[in-house]
Structures are given as structure tokens and as C-alpha cells.
Amino acid sequence: MWDYLSSKDYLQPKVPDLDDIVPLPPAPLPEWDGKIAFQRWFEGDAPPKPSEALMMKLANQAGVRVDNGLDLETGLPKKPKK
């Protein structure tokens, strides 16, 4: 576990599920798949790509082109809102 966490220290991994992996005695040790929650998240599947319809809707709401993100009116990058 140490090797895995230290190799990913730039991501600041946390182990909130440590008590589930190694409970304090006299509790019996539970079944464990050998991975911590951070590792399952990091190595897990990427979220699905949004649909084209959703991308068009969000781009129109933001006033940008869906293909390149430039402002619909000026053709330039949009200034961020503060």
C-alpha cells in the first residue's frame, strides 16, 4: 500500500477507508480486494462522454461554438466571468 500511495503522492491520496481495511483489534479482518478507495477511483473507468445534444445545449447556453469554444459573436476566446 505504501509503494502505491508514495508513487501517487502528487495527487495527495487519502485513505479514509483504512478502518474498513484494517479494523482495530479484536475485530476480525474483513475480506479485502487489495485496493483502497483512491486506487479504485484512480484506476477506474473514465466517465462517459456527454452526448452531442448536451454539448450543443451547453455551448449555446455559454454563447460559444461547440467545435472550438470560441465566442459566437466575436469568434475570439470568451472572457471568463468573475
Instruction: Show the cell assigned to 37.
Output: 478507495
Domain residue spans in the chain? 2-43, 50-82
Instruction: Show the cell assigned to 41.
Output: 477511483
* 1 band by pLDDT with thresholds 50, 70 and 90: confident
pLDDT of 36 higher than 90: no
* 57 band by pLDDT with thresholds 50, 70 and 90: very high
Under 8 Å between Cβ of 32 and 21: yes
